[in-house]
Amino acid sequence: MDKEDFKKQAGEEAVKLIEDGMTIGLGTGSTVEYTLRKIGQMIQEGFKIQGIPTSIRTKRIAKEEKIPLTTLDEHPEIDITIDGADEVDSNLNLIKGGGGALTREKIIAYNSKKVIIVVDDSKVVKALGIDFPLPVEVVRFGWTSTKKTLEAFGCNVALREIMKGEPFITDNGNYILDCEFDYIENPEQMEININCIPGVVENGLFINLVSEVIVGSQQGILTLEKEKTVV
C-alpha cells in the first residue's frame, strides 16, 4: 500500500458521516476527490444531499458526479464539511491552501457544524510549518510590499507560480505567497497577525475549526477527534 491508497482510505471513509438530506461543504484536493467520487456513487443509488464547492476545481468534479449544488448564500447552515489538509498538528489545527483554495475553504469551514479532514499519515506533524510553507492569499495591488511585511515574521516568502514568470491566480483573482518557516511556534497568534496586514485576504492556518481528522495509514484508518470551539 502506498500514499495514494492511504488518501483513498481516508477520503472514502468520510462518507460514512454523511446523512440523507444534508448540506455538505465540498473541499478541494486529491484526497477529498475520493470523497466526491464516492458521494457521486451514493447519489446514483438515490441518496439526496446538496453540496457547496470550495473551488472551481471541486465544482467541476461535483458536476461530473451529478452532485446537486447550492451556495452558502442560499444555504448558510452547512451540516458537515469534508476537506483535505497539507499539515495537521496534535490540536487538530491545520495548514491548508496547497491547492490555492484556502479562502473559500476557510469560509465554508467556519460556517459548518462539523468539519472533517481527510489526510494520509504523512500530513500529521509535530508542529505546523515544519514540512509545508504557509499559503497566504493576497490582493495583487502592492503585493511586493505585502511580501516584505510577511518576511518580517522570519519566513522566506515566494510568489506561487504555475510556471516561471506566470503567477498562480486564485479563484478569487488573487496571488498566493508561500511562507516558509522552520516551524510556526504560535499558530493561533500567527493566524491573527497575518490577517492584520493590509493586502492579505486570508491565510492557510485553520485554528479551532476541525471536529475530526480521518487519517489513512499502513495500520488502517485512524481517527483524531476534538470538540469544535464555538466562537
In the block, which residue shows the cell 504523512? Answer: 122
The Cα–Cα gap between 226 and 60 comes to 32
Q: How far is the CB of 20 from ligand 5RP (least distance, A)?
A: 26
Site for ligand 5RP in 31-50 (CB under 6 A): 31
Beta-ladder partners of 88: 94, 124
79 binding ligand 5RP? (CB under 6 A): no
85 binding ligand 5RP? (CB under 6 A): yes
Region near ligand 5RP per CB under 6 A, out of 22-30, 38-46, 147-155, 216-224: 22-30
3-state secondary structure of 39: helix
Catalytically annotated residue among 12, 87, 105, 191: 105
Sole binder of ligand 5RP in the list 61, 82, 92, 102 (CB under 6 A): 102
Outline where DSSP puts E strands in 40-194. Answer: 50-53, 78-83, 87-88, 94-95, 112-120, 134-138, 156-159, 161-163, 166-167, 175-180
- How many binding residues for ligand 5RP (CB under 6 A)? 17
Q: How far is the CB of 64 from ligand 5RP (least distance, A)?
A: 17
The reply to whether 161 belongs to the active site is no
Sole binder of ligand 5RP in the list 8, 59, 96, 147 (CB under 6 A): 96
Sole binder of ligand 5RP in the list 98, 187, 199, 216 (CB under 6 A): 98
113 conformational bin, left if phi > 0, alpha if psi -120 to 50, beta if neither: alpha
The Cα–Cα gap between 91 and 56 comes to 30
Active site residues: 105
